[in-house]
């Protein structure tokens, strides 16, 4: 990975290499954490609503199935 990073940095202005190196390393660390967090959510799409009848943030209860679903986008927006 270090060799690949150096190859990328060769094409960048020496004054800006520190910034890009920080960005690339930070992205490599954060991306797997974001995926893990998304997979760890419970009560997601296709599951029954919570005990109080609500769904998790970003989901709504389907009138047809009663399960939690992602709301459809309205046309024209």
- Model-level pTM? 0.35
Task: Look up residue 15 and give its DSSP letter.
Answer: G
Percent of the chain with pLDDT over 90: 0
54 vs 25: CA distance, rounded Å: 39
Please say if the pLDDT value at position 43 is more than 50: no
Strand segments, DSSP code E, in 1-77 are 60-61, 68-69
6-15, 21-30, 33-42, 68-77: which has the minimum mean pLDDT? 33-42
């Amino acid at each position: 990975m270090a060799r690949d990073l150096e190859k990328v940095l060769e094409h960048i202005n020496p004054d800006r290499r520190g910034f890009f190196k920080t960005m690339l390393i930070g992205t490599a660390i954060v991306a797997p954490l974001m995926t893990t967090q998304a997979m760890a959510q419970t009560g997601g799409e296709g599951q029954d609503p919570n005990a109080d009848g609500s769904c998790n943030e970003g989901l709504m209860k389907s009138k047809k199935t009663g399960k939690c679903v992602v709301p459809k986008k309205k046309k024209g927006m």
